[in-house]
């Protein structure tokens, strides 16, 4: 199964080589905000493995390693021979200095946080700055460049970095020790803009409209007029926007398969189909009711990974059986986002599995389908912007994420119809109250979890021995890290009262106040 539809491939682009910095994703995003398409690739990629035809510039990201130690990630020095401008950021600067003949010194102490730079050369990268201007920038480094490589000049200095920026105007290689991509470097965008437009000669060619137009054309070019395309629709933002985009390209040759696995929230399957139909988005939806199959396969299973694997497998079986009924299917659409990709692949290869996400690379080779993943390089807010451009209503675009394995990972322990009923009712109350308070769209997720714990209570004059519901509400940018959300006490009181009074079988409600890391958002 390969990716044929290479999005952005015929668009000018900037490659960001990822050396593992927590800010790499921000670099790519800032570049796109400036109107140039950019994508991130692992630093271990060799030039020969990549199509560099439309690459206008390369940015080397920051990273946690030291270029002068043995744990430095492998790097193909041929990236410096691509004849395009290169910008090194933090680790990327040290790497440039090290590889091109300068000297990097291992620091005895770290320079971390705000620093004041003095601009010593206000041309090129610092065009628009005053000579000797003091500029606030965000630093996070231990090592620093001690001696410039041949052909380079110093462009800025700071108390912790004698060379805070350097450049070689002959080769158009520039490097900065600070992070221009974070908000703590107030003029960082100007520096990136100088690099992209004045130095690399990029054009502003990236916009939601442009991306949609290009993607439609690429999909039409790669899917033969007689072929069909399938898509797993979940009703969530990513799969809906992906489906609407692909439907614009191939019309009702796109078959959207919506599997009701019996693990959805209250009335969700019918609501999703109704909502998507009501907005005239032109989707050809096949609704498959498979609740019994999923629940019988999950019967007696309590181990989280086993549950996830069963759900992934059964999903594929059900999906495949439906897909077999459609003739000449050649492509599969997935709404995979960049954070899904990096949670599955680390800089140096596969990372340890924390949780199996069945929507990434989960569909079997045996289906022999080519993948269409239009959003593989994008973040959720960028996909929402595309969705808005495609005319998808906010009611759908603002939906909180919902995991593929659904309520099975929120019913801790065995998944039974009765335990699902309890969770669904409690969840409905919590979300209803969150919405009434106007908080729904300010939270990344808000949901309930049914714990495998019974506790003693008292109701009327009698002793109860019943189930426990945990409330989970988090704030997050992309699901990779998250903070537990402060909810008003009055709201918590109302939710707790309502759940205990209205949901038969629950006598205790608790609040989850753990952040990710070290906890995860879902409990399983
Ligand atoms: P965790 O629990 O790993 O979740 O902190 C991070 C985000 O991912 C969602 N999630 C999933 N989404 N398939 C999905 O599509 C899955 O298997 C899955 N597991 C977790 C979770 O809801 C949170 O937003």
| Residue 3, domain member (yes or no) | no
pLDDT at site 346: 43
| Residue 429, domain member (yes or no) | yes
Strands 86-89 and 37-42: unpaired
Q: Is 90 an annotated catalytic residue?
A: yes
Tokens of 248: 């614009």
Residues 6+ apart with CB under 8 A from 33: 189
Q: How many residues can be counted in the chain?
A: 524
Q: Are the beta carbons of 474 and 445 closer than 8 angstroms?
A: yes
Strands 284-289 and 254-260: parallel
* C-alpha to C-alpha distances, 391 to 8, 110, 281, 285, 381, nearest whole angstrom: 22, 49, 8, 18, 15
For a pocket test of ligand 1, which of 234, 521, 523 has the largest count of ligand atoms closer than 8 A to its C-beta?
521
Q: Is the peptide bond before 517 cis (omega within 30 degrees of 0)?
A: yes
pLDDT at site 50: 86
| Residue 402, domain member (yes or no) | no
Tokens of 448: 């309930």
Element (H, E) at 346: strand 345-346
| Residue 519, domain member (yes or no) | no
- Number of compact structural domains in the chain: 3
Q: Is 382 an annotated catalytic residue?
A: no
pLDDT at site 23: 86
| Residue 63, domain member (yes or no) | yes
Domain at 447, CATH number: 3.30.300.10
Q: Are the beta carbons of 44 and 348 closer than 8 angstroms?
A: yes
How much distance in Å is there from the Cα of 244 to the middle of ligand 1? 23
Domain at 123, CATH number: 3.40.50.880
Would you tell me the crossing angle of helices 237-250 and 380-389 to the nearest 10 degrees? 40
Q: Same domain for 151 and 20?
A: yes
Q: Same domain for 420 and 377?
A: no
User: Distance between the two ends of the chain, CA-based, in angstroms?
Assistant: 29
Element (H, E) at 385: helix 380-389
Rounded Cα–Cα distance for residues 520 and 524 (Å): 8
Q: Same domain for 282 and 339?
A: yes
| Residue 419, domain member (yes or no) | yes
On the 0-12 / 13-18 / 19+ scale of CB atoms within 10 A, 15 is: buried
Q: Choosing from 141, 144, 179, 255, which is the catalytic residue? A: 179
DSSP symbols for 415-455: --HHHHHHHHHHHHHHHHHHHHTT-GGGSSEEEEEEEEEEE
Element (H, E) at 245: helix 237-250
Q: Same domain for 230 and 348?
A: yes
3-state DSSP assignment of residue 7: coil
The domain containing residue 472 runs over which residues?
410-511
Single out the residue of 57, 60, 54 nearest to residue 84, CA to CA. Answer: 57
Tokens of 214: 């290009």
pLDDT at site 245: 97
* pTM (two decimals): 0.79
Nearest atom within ligand 1 for CA of residue 234 = 15
Rounded Cα–Cα distance for residues 304 and 246 (Å): 34
Q: Same domain for 195 and 212?
A: no
| Residue 521, domain member (yes or no) | no
Tokens of 58: 């390369």
Nearest atom within ligand 1 for CA of residue 308 = 17
Last residue of a domain, one of 336, 368, 397: 397
Q: Same domain for 345 and 228?
A: yes
| Residue 142, domain member (yes or no) | yes
Single out the residue of 258, 228, 253, 188 nearest to residue 27, CA to CA. Answer: 188
What lines the ligand 1 site, CB under 6 Å? 355, 357-359, 401, 403-405, 445, 479, 516, 520-522
Q: Is 179 an annotated catalytic residue?
A: yes
Tokens of 68: 């002068």
pLDDT at site 345: 47
Which residue minimizes the CA distance to atom 9 of ligand 1?
Answer: 403
pLDDT at site 343: 56
Nearest atom within ligand 1 for CA of residue 522 = 2
pLDDT at site 341: 67
Q: Choosing from 111, 141, 144, 181, which is the catalytic residue? A: 181
Single out the residue of 288, 213, 220, 277 nearest to residue 253, CA to CA. Answer: 220
Residues 6+ apart with CB under 8 A from 326: 228, 230, 255
pLDDT at site 350: 33
Q: Same domain for 50 and 176?
A: yes
Tell the residue number behind the tokens 């140039």, with chain if given.
36
3-class SS letters over 14-73: EEEEECCCCCHHHHHHHHHHCCCEEEEEECCCCHHHCCCCCEEEEEECCCCCCCCCCCCC
Q: Is the peptide bond before 518 cis (omega within 30 degrees of 0)?
A: yes
Q: Same domain for 165 and 289?
A: no
Which residue minimizes the CA distance to atom 10 of ligand 1?
Answer: 403
Strands 144-147 and 228-232: unpaired
Last residue of a domain, one of 167, 199, 231: 199
Q: Are the beta carbons of 402 and 479 closer than 8 angstroms?
A: no
φ and ψ at 385, to 5 degrees? -65, -40
DSSP letter (8 states) at residue 486: P
Q: What is the mean pLDDT of each run of 10 residues along the chain (524 residues)?
A: 49 91 89 92 92 94 92 94 97 98 88 93 97 94 95 96 96 97 94 98 90 93 96 93 97 96 95 86 94 98 96 93 95 84 47 48 66 88 93 92 95 98 98 98 97 95 96 89 95 98 98 94 97
Q: Are the beta carbons of 459 and 413 closer than 8 angstroms?
A: no
Strands 173-176 and 86-89: parallel
Last residue of a domain, one of 139, 170, 199: 199
Q: Same domain for 247 and 182?
A: no
Q: Same domain for 292 and 154?
A: no
Domain at 237, CATH number: 3.40.50.620
Q: Same domain for 224 and 313?
A: yes
Q: Same domain for 233 and 162?
A: no
How much distance in Å is there from the Cα of 127 to the middle of ligand 1? 44
């Amino acid at each position: 199964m390969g990716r044929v539809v290479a999005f952005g491939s015929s668009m000018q682009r900037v490659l960001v080589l990822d050396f593992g910095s927590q800010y790499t994703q921000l670099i790519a995003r800032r570049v796109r905000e400036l109107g140039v398409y950019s994508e991130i690739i692992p630093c271990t990629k060799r030039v020969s493995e990549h199509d560099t035809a439309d690459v206008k510039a390369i940015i080397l990201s920051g990273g946690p390693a030291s270029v002068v130690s043995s744990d430095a990630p492998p790097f193909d020095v041929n990236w410096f021979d691509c004849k395009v401008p290169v910008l090194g950021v933090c680790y990327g600067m040290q790497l440039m200095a090290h590889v091109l003949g300068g000297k990097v010194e291992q620091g005895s102490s770290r320079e971390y946080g705000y620093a004041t730079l003095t601009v010593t050369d206000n041309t090129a990268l610092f065009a628009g700055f005053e000579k000797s201007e003091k500029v606030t920038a965000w630093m996070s480094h231990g090592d620093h460049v001690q001696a410039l490589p041949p052909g380079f000049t110093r462009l800025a200095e700071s108390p912790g970095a004698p060379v805070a920026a350097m450049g070689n105007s002959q080769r158009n290689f520039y490097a900065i020790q600070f992070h221009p991509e974070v908000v703590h470097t107030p003029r960082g965008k100007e520096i990136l803009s100088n690099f992209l437009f004045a130095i690399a000669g990029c054009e502003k060619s990236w916009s939601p409209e442009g991306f949609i137009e290009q993607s439609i054309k690429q999909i039409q070019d790669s899917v033969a007029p007689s072929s069909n395309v399938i898509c797993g629709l979940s009703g969530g933002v990513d799969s809906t926007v992906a489906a609407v985009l692909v439907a614009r390209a191939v019309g009702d040759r796109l078959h959207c398969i919506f599997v009701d696995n019996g693990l959805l929230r209250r009335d969700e399957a019918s609501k999703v189909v109704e909502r998507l139909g009501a907005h005239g988005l032109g989707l050809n939806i096949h609704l498959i009711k498979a609740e019994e199959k999923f629940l019988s396969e999950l019967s007696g299973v309590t181990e989280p990974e086993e549950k996830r694997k069963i759900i992934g497998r059964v999903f594929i079986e059900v999906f495949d059986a439906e897909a077999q009924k459609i003739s000449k299917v050649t492509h599969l659409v997935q709404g995979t986002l960049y954070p899904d990709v990096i949670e599955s692949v680390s800089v140096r290869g596969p990372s340890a599995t924390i949780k199996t996400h069945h929507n990434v690379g989960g569909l079997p080779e045996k289906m022999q389908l080519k993948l269409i993943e239009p959003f593989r390089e994008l973040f959720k807010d960028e996909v929402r912007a595309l969705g808005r451009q495609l005319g998808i209503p906010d009611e759908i675009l603002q939906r909180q994420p919902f995991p593929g394995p659904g309520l099975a990972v929120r019913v801790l322990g065995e998944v039974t119809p009765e335990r699902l009923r309890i969770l669904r009712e409690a969840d409905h109350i919590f979300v209803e109250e969150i919405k009434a308070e106007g908080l729904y769209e300010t939270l990344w997720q808000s949901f309930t979890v049914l714990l495998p714990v019974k506790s003693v209570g008292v109701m009327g004059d009698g002793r109860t021995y019943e189930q426990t519901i945990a409330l989970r509400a988090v704030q997050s940018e992309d699901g990779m890290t998250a903070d537990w959300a402060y909810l008003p006490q009055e709201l918590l009181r109302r939710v707790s009262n309502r759940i205990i009074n209205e949901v038969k079988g629950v006598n205790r409600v608790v609040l989850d106040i753990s952040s990710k890391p070290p906890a995860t958002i879902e409990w399983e």
